[in-house]
Chains A and B, each alone.
Chain A
């Protein structure tokens, strides 16, 4: 059993667990949407005094912040106790494409070219992460949700707005991958 858990999980098992997360939250009277936490965190930091959008009772979102703390703990637990430390097994085609952009084959879960201390203390390395984060934060609030709120919860409820948002996610992702990556990497 523990050997099964320690291997990377197959797609169908992962999908079952993710939908279970959504259904558990529904059963607890809430809905699965992670990016709302970014707004809540702005409110806690005092943004409500300056901008009306952040002036709301953040305590109504406490449950979601507890969920966020759980997600951090989950990442820690999975790494410390449930992993065998293997590199991500991405396809040979992706390895080859990324090589052309200057990324070596994976030796862990994330590229050191982007997330190591050496990388983030370069100007370019810092800006890649900062701009990436900014766009995710801005875009998720403009679109009214992220992968959990739209791609999982929204589409499960067959919401047209969520389908449009996911089309947008892919337009942005494809343009970044095929047209902007060659310019910056």
Chain B
């Protein structure tokens, strides 16, 4: 089954979100209040290794499992959509204490109330789809 590997990596992601406590509303509050290094350490480590790894992938033209060269797709140039969209995302991140990944990990952890958060995240995504042509990007 070609999908098994994604299930395994997903499980690893769910475990690290739980064990790092990044799925906790308390940790997100602590981060936005700058009262601990924890979340910054996690993201900082991941990004530092990420920058080094992506640089090496490009430099040595490393190939993926199917033999194609690993490609990176530059995002569209703009300021407005990233700043405004990001700010709206930030409101929701602080309020619910979860970004999309940790939402579903919380569900698996047993917090069934996150079904509401996930359902309304879908509603928010749907609403964006409806009005996107009227929004500045």
B104→A71 contact, CB < 8 A: yes
Number of B residues with CB within 8 Å of any CB on chain A: 111
A21: B residues at CB distance < 8 A? 9, 12-13, 16
Q: What DSSP secondary structure best describes chain A's contact surface?
A: helix
Contact partner of B85 (CB less than 8 A), chosen from A22, A23, A97, A144, is A144
B35→A71 contact, CB < 8 A: no
Known contacts A17-B16, A111-B26; decide if A120 and B116 are in contact (CB<8 Å).
yes
Q: Is A75 an interface residue, CB under 8 A from the partner?
A: yes
A39: B residues at CB distance < 8 A? 125, 129
A residues neighboring B (CB under 8 Å): 5, 8-9, 11-12, 14-31, 34-35, 37-39, 41-42, 45, 47, 51-54, 62-64, 66-79, 82-83, 88, 90-91, 93-94, 97-98, 106, 109-111, 114-117, 119-120, 126, 128-148, 150-162, 164-177, 180-181
B residues neighboring A (CB under 8 Å): 3, 5-33, 35-39, 41-51, 53-54, 57, 64-66, 68, 70, 72-79, 81-101, 103-111, 113-114, 116-130, 132, 135
Q: 10 closest A-B pairs (Cβ-Cβ)?
A: A74-B14, A70-B10, A168-B86, A172-B90, A15-B45, A156-B50, A137-B124, A132-B96, A135-B92, A75-B108
